[in-house]
Structure 1
Amino acid sequence: MASETSNYGDNEDLIQVDINFKGSKIKVYKSKSIGYYICPVCKKSIFFNELDLLDHIIAHAKGLNEKRRDIPTRFYRREKEE
């Protein structure tokens, strides 16, 4: 499903890999030592198999990541100590 093509810049651990998905080639980077894939869209998320990466890329295409709400947080006011 994937084919190795070339090294990525000065990082010798990352290689560029082509993933075929329904007739389309997607170029992603993969770690040689650990074997994780890096999302080519946001470059923040890592995945350990191609199917999870493809689901994440489809979520980017549908805009689901941008519409997702953050985890609710509570803000506490600190009293000024005098």
Structure 2
Amino acid sequence: WTQRYFGTFGDLNSAAAIMGNKKVANHGITVLNSLERAVQNMDDIKNTYVELSILHSEKLHVDPDTFRCYVQAALQKFLTVVVSALGRQYN
């Protein structure tokens, strides 16, 4: 599914390629900025994301399950790095 949505991002075939990809990094910044908007609008997240929801559903035709999979994988990877950093002095 990554090639469907990120076909213009170039090589996404390995972790190293993804880590060095500026388009991936820029998209990550976009996602984090969007999450910051959600935090700033905790009382009205649904309305905060109306335009972004329309973009993803009507223009990009992203399967909603993709978001669930993405969030689970991203959080797992992020927390793995945090745990590793916290425990590195124990090695």
Q: Work out whether the TM-score is over 0.5.
A: no
Q: TM-score range by the shorter chain?
A: under 0.3
User: Greater CA radius of gyration, 1 or 2?
Assistant: 1
Higher strand share goes to which structure? 1
